[in-house]
């Protein structure tokens, strides 16, 4: 066996690729899906340039934006390790959306109060998730699933199953559903999120602590990081982001509905895995997660265009998740 | 003498099954007080039919948890098998019921094999892996029955109620068909528990690496645990198909969490290797009686999801706290 010392090559392009290989891999997947989709649709219908066009790409990004935002929640919870996942994000978003829909009531005046309320709602349930998983050591999937039940129960009780009359403010509606030229306005939110997450994980002490806990809990604990507290905080921030996303969801749909967030939970997890981020923790790459969300959304568009609808979507998501997990995080062979 | 009695008392109360049984007895007393004629056969039969899916699925879930896994897909897997069976059956062709039974068994075993391979051989974390497969089952079920529906042959009803196909049809005596199914499930586990596989399931669940080191094929044992679980899923699917005569892909969505909670309430440790599968029956009964009590308390259906979610979280948390206390007591005994 060769035992050469590892030599860092002084090759700028190659080094740049190696430093960002996750982003490039996911970008490659985006290109494959778009080109493949174009080929399939083109061969099937005979009309070319519908799937792979500038308009279609930006529409896909606008639709994928919510998967990206929920993916941010998952990224935060996943990076602290301990098999963390948050299944309650979509439900928290629904509850926050329904409450803030009433507060906003189609006027811009209510926006500050609406945002604060959404954050409070998210923080409350996120804190609950964090407490049960971090301090009591319960598996996060079971806890957040139960929390999702509770939140959905509150939604049912709050709305009493009658149509909801909460409408978004014009500013929120503009931000979440309008286009300026070909660009969807919600891209501003996504750019802000990517910048914040990149700075958080690249430059700040908090980011290092989060990643450190995920990489090696014991080492982090021995170096003086309050592991349990920070894990709980990760769940809380995840809840807060979910609450704010709920406000944007109301804007995007025009009015709140009882199950607007629940369908985003599974895609948000798959987006993180497709982005190549280790689901065992200790890693974060939000830009890659966003690209993963685009992959999923364009796959969904393809399924809809082929007439497979929901069945194909869920089957595809499940299969992708298993394949990606197998590729990235197979457990070590027992010796 | 006194110390001996204390020891006997301790060995009784120290078992997690004892506390589960105590809670169950309290629940039964409460429900019996709230409802007149609780101890009549017809009432009991009604309850058994309503609680049956949860009981059997909790037993299967219990086996998987003891083997160190978890099955987040049992609800949707059940719905998928149900959809496939009701799709195949044709009321005009009575032999289609046999085809449905066989194909259903095949599909059910396939879910067990896939889960077992993914968790055992591919070594993915069981929680997230079975969460992924649950969406595969949902997708397949939606392909089979995009909208709720389906049919069944007339003799198939017997799997739900034997009286429907002529057994004891004239007599007033109720023949609790669900009880027969429950007995079959218990016998399956009783037999398996006494084989090498049964012992290995406990060994693999408590110490995976050590079991491997002592020559147990851990992946195979986990696969077998998931296979056993899939047989229990199949039983529930057959029962539900006979009861409803139709299937819906989303039928099992809310069931999974209740099943996991029931197994945990039954004293089966989430960490694996500890617990009694029969106690999962008691756990499932407790969960079901709680929802009955909520119903008797007059809480409207809008609040029922909320209350059941709260109860599930409380149940899971309390069982974990209990095991933590036990561990502390054990450590205290060592230091003394």
The helix/strand/coil state of B93 is: strand
Task: Name which of A142, A144, A296, A320 to mutate to probe chain B: the one with the most chain B Cβ atoms within 10 A of its Cβ.
Answer: A142
Q: Which residue of A has its CA nearest to B303?
A: A157
CA–CA dist A45, A72 (Å, integer): 37
Q: Is A333 left (phi over 0), alpha (psi -120 to 50) or beta?
A: beta
CA–CA dist B318, A332 (Å, integer): 33
A334–B308 C-beta distance less than 8 A? no
Domain residues for A163?
A: 66-262+278-284
Q: Is residue A188 part of a domain?
A: yes
| pLDDT at A172 exceeding the cut of 50 | yes
A153–B305 C-beta distance less than 8 A? yes
Q: Which residue has the higher pLDDT, A276 or A77?
A: A77
Question: Tokens 């218990």 identify what position?
Answer: B186
| pLDDT at B332 exceeding the cut of 80 | no
Find out whether A97 and A251 touch, Cβ atoms under 8 Å: no
How far off is chain B from A76, nearest CA to CA, in Å?
A: 17
Q: Mean of the pLDDT values across residues A242-253?
A: 92
CA–CA dist B266, B326 (Å, integer): 16
Question: Tokens 């066989």 identify what position?
Answer: B102
B 134-153 residues inside an 8 A Cβ radius of A: 134-143, 146
Q: What is the tally of structural domains in chain A? A: 1
Cβ-Cβ contacts under 8 Å for A309 (sequence gap 6 or more): A303, B142, B146
B241-292 confidence digits (pLDDT tens): 998 888 888 888 888 888 998 998 888 888 888 888 999 999 999 888 888 8
**DSSP 8-state class, residue B298:** T
Any alpha helices (H) in B14-73, and if so which ranges? 16-34, 41-66
Find out whether A86 and A140 touch, Cβ atoms under 8 Å: yes
CB-based burial, B239-263: b 16+ in 10 Å, e otherwise: bbbbbbbbbbbebbeebbbbbbbbb
Cβ-Cβ contacts under 8 Å for B264 (sequence gap 6 or more): B65, B270, B283, B315, B316, B319
Cβ-Cβ contacts under 8 Å for B118 (sequence gap 6 or more): A322, A326, B124, B129, B130, B132, B133
Residue A179 host element (H or E): strand A179-180
Q: Mean of the pLDDT values across residues A311-315?
A: 90
Q: Is residue A242 part of a domain?
A: yes
B128–A325 C-beta distance less than 8 A? yes
Looking at residue B51, its pLDDT comes to: 92
- Nearest Cα neighbor of B265 from B13, B49, B21, B11 is B21
* Residue among B123, B128, B218 minimizing CB distance to A279: B128
Phi, psi at B248, each rounded to 5°:
-135, 135
**Cβ-based neighbour number of residue A207 at 10 Å:** 17
Find out whether A122 and A243 touch, Cβ atoms under 8 Å: yes
CA–CA dist B130, A333 (Å, integer): 20
In order, the DSSP letters of B237-267 are HHHHHHHHS-B-TTTTTTHHHHHHHHHHHTT
B 5-64 residues inside an 8 A Cβ radius of A: none
A30-86 confidence digits (pLDDT tens): 999 999 989 988 888 888 878 888 888 999 999 999 999 999 999 999 999 887 889
- The rounded percent of chain A whose pLDDT value lies above 70 is 94
A102-138 confidence digits (pLDDT tens): 888 778 888 999 999 999 999 999 999 999 999 888 8
B33-45 confidence digits (pLDDT tens): 888 778 887 788 8
Compute the Cα dihedral for A170, A172, A173, A177 and give only its sign: positive
B224's tokens: 């077998």
Q: Which residue has the higher pLDDT, A8 or B303?
A: B303
Please give the torsion angle defined by the CA atoms of residues A295, A299, A301 and A306, in that order, rounded to the nearest 10 degrees: 160
**A27 close to B (CB below 8 A):** no
**B119 close to A (CB below 8 A):** no
Task: Give B305's contacts in chain A (Cβ within 8 Å).
Answer: 149-150, 152-153, 156
| pLDDT at A330 exceeding the cut of 80 | no
Beta bridge pairs of residue B90: B93
CA–CA dist A283, A277 (Å, integer): 6
- The separation between the first and the last C-alpha atoms of chain B, rounded to the nearest angstrom, is 22
B209–A318 C-beta distance less than 8 A? no
Q: Which residue has the higher pLDDT, B301 or B236?
A: B236
Residue A184 host element (H or E): strand A183-184
B317–A132 C-beta distance less than 8 A? yes
Q: B91: pLDDT confidence band, cut at 50, 70 and 90?
A: confident
A200's tokens: 């958080």
In order, the DSSP letters of A96-119 are HHHHHHHHHTT-GGGHHHHHHHHH
Looking at residue B336, its pLDDT comes to: 44
**A311 close to B (CB below 8 A):** yes
- Nearest Cα neighbor of A251 from A19, A69, A1 is A69
Cβ-Cβ contacts under 8 Å for A153 (sequence gap 6 or more): B302, B303, B304, B305, B306, B307, B308, B309
B305–A326 C-beta distance less than 8 A? no
Q: Which residue of B has its CA nearest to A142?
A: B257
In order, the DSSP letters of A20-60 are THHHHHHHHHHHHHHHHHHHHHHHHHS--SSSSSHHHHHHH
What are the CA-CA distances from residue A212 to residues A42, A273, A292 (Å)? Answer: 48, 20, 24
Q: Is residue A256 part of a domain?
A: yes
Q: A1: pLDDT confidence band, cut at 50, 70 and 90?
A: very low
Q: Which residue of B has its CA nearest to A131?
A: B317
| Mean of all residue pLDDT scores within chain A | 87
* Residue among B302, B310, B320 minimizing CB distance to A136: B320
CA–CA dist B213, A244 (Å, integer): 50
The helix/strand/coil state of B19 is: helix
Find out whether A220 and A209 touch, Cβ atoms under 8 Å: yes
- Lowest mean pLDDT of A32-41, B5-14, B154-163, name the range: B5-14
Q: Is residue A12 part of a domain?
A: no
Q: Is residue A321 part of a domain?
A: no
A 281-310 residues inside an 8 A Cβ radius of B: 309-310
Q: Is residue A294 part of a domain?
A: no
A211-241 confidence digits (pLDDT tens): 999 988 899 999 999 999 999 999 999 999 9
Looking at residue A176, its pLDDT comes to: 87
Looking at residue A319, its pLDDT comes to: 92
Looking at residue B140, its pLDDT comes to: 94
CA–CA dist A194, B219 (Å, integer): 41
* Residue among B142, B260, B309 minimizing CB distance to A311: B142
CA–CA dist B34, B31 (Å, integer): 5
Cβ-Cβ contacts under 8 Å for B318 (sequence gap 6 or more): none
A54's tokens: 């500038």
**A314 close to B (CB below 8 A):** yes
In order, the DSSP letters of B198-211 are HHHHHHHHH-HHHH
- Nearest Cα neighbor of B141 from B254, B257, B253, B248 is B248
In order, the DSSP letters of A215-265 are H-HHHHHHTT--HHHHHHHHHHHHHHHHHHHHHHHHHHHSB--TTTTGGGH
How far off is chain A from B142, nearest CA to CA, in Å?
A: 5
Task: Give A145's contacts in chain B (Cβ within 8 Å).
Answer: 256-257
Which pTM value belongs to this model? 0.87
**A157 close to B (CB below 8 A):** yes
ipTM strictly over 0.90? no
A318–B134 C-beta distance less than 8 A? yes
Q: Which residue of B has its CA nearest to A134?
A: B317
A81's tokens: 């390790």
Find out whether B139 and A316 touch, Cβ atoms under 8 Å: yes
Give the domains, in start order, of chain B with CATH numbers.
Answer: 44-315 (1.10.3470)
- Taken as a whole, chain B contains a residue count of 336
Phi, psi at A316, each rounded to 5°:
-60, -45
**Cβ-based neighbour number of residue B318 at 10 Å:** 14
Find out whether B44 and B176 touch, Cβ atoms under 8 Å: yes
Q: What is the CA B55 to chain-centroid distance, rounded? A: 5
Find out whether A281 and A220 touch, Cβ atoms under 8 Å: no
Q: What is the largest CA-CA distance in chain A?
A: 71
How far off is chain B from A319, nearest CA to CA, in Å?
A: 6
**DSSP 8-state class, residue B162:** G
Q: A147: pLDDT confidence band, cut at 50, 70 and 90?
A: very high
How far off is chain B from A220, nearest CA to CA, in Å?
A: 23
**B314 close to A (CB below 8 A):** no
């Amino acid at each position: 066996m060769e035992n050469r010392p590892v030599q860092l090559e002084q090759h700028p392009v190659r080094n740049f690729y190696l430093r960002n290989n996750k982003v490039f891999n996911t970008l490659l997947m985006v290109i494959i899906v778009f080109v493949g989709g174009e080929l399939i649709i083109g061969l099937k219908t005979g009309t070319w340039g519908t799937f792979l066009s500038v308009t279609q790409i930006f529409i896909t990004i606008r639709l994928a934006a919510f998967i990206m935002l929920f993916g941010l929640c998952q990224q935060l919870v996943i990076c602290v390790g301990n098999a963390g996942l948050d299944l309650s994000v979509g439900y928290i978003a629904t509850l926050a959306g329904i409450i803030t829909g009433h507060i906003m009531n189609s006027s811009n005046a209510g926006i500050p109060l609406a945002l604060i309320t959404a954050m409070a709602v998210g923080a409350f349930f996120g804190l609950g998730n964090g407490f049960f998983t971090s301090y009591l050591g319960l598996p996060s999937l079971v806890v957040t699933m139960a929390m999702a039940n509770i939140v959905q129960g509150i939604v049912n009780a709050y709305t009493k199953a009658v149509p909801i009359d909460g409408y978004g403010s014009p500013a929120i509606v503009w931000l979440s559903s309008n286009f300026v030229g070909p660009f969807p306005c919600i891209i501003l939110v996504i750019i802000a999120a990517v910048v914040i997450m990149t700075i958080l994980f690249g430059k700040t002490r908090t980011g290092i602590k989060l990643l450190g806990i995920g990489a090696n809990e014991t080492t982090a604990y021995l170096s003086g990081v309050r592991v349990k507290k920070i894990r709980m905080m990760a769940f809380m921030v995840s809840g807060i982001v979910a609450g704010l996303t709920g406000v944007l969801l109301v804007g995007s749909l025009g009015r709140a509905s009882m199950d607007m967030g629940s369908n985003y939970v599974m895609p948000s997890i798959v987006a993180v895995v497709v982005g190549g981020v280790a689901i065992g923790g200790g890693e974060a790459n939000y830009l890659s997660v966003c690209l993963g969300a685009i992959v999923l959304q364009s796959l969904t568009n393809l399924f809809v265009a082929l007439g497979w609808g929901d069945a194909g979507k869920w089957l595809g998501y499940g299969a992708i998740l298993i394949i990606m997990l197998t590729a990235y995080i197979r457990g070590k062979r027992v010796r | 003498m006194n110390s001996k009695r204390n020891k006997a008392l301790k060995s009784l109360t120290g078992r997690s099954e004892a506390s589960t049984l105590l809670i169950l007895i309290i629940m039964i007393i409460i429900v019996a007080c709230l409802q007149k004629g609780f101890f009549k056969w017809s009432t009991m039969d009604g309850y058994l039919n309503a609680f049956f899916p949860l009981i059997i699925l909790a037993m299967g879930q219990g086996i998987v948890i003891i083997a160190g896994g978890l099955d987040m897909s049992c609800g949707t897997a059940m719905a998928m098998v149900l959809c496939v069976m009701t799709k195949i059956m044709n009321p005009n062709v009575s032999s289609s019921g046999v085809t449905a039974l066989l194909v259903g068994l095949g599909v059910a075993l396939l879910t067990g094999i896939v889960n077992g391979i993914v968790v055992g051989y591919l070594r993915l974390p069981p929680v997230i892996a079975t969460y992924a497969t649950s969406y595969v089952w949902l997708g397949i079920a939606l392909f089979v029955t995009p909208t709720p529906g389906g049919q069944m042959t007339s003799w198939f009803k017997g799997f739900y109620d034997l009286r429907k196909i002529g057994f004891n049809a004239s007599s007033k005596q109720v023949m609790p068909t669900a009880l027969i199914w429950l007995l079959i499930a218990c016998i399956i586990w009783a037999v398996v528990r006494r084989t090498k596989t049964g012992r290995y399931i406990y060994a693999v669940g408590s110490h995976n690496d050590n079991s491997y080191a002592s020559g147990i094929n851990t992946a195979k044992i986990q696969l077998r645990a998931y296979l056993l679980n899939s047989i229990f899923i199949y039983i529930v699917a057959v029962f539900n198909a006979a009861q409803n005569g139709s299937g819906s892909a989303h039928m099992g969505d809310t069931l999974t969490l209740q099943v996991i909670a029931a197994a945990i309430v039954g004293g089966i440790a989430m960490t694996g290797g500890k617990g009694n599968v029969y106690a999962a029956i008691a756990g499932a009964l407790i969960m079901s009686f709680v929802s009955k009590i909520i119903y008797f308390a007059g809480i409207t259906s809008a609040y029922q999801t909320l209350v059941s979610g709260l109860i599930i979280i409380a149940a899971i948390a309390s069982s974990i706290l209990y095991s933590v206390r036990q561990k502390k007591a054990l450590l205290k005994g060592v230091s003394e």
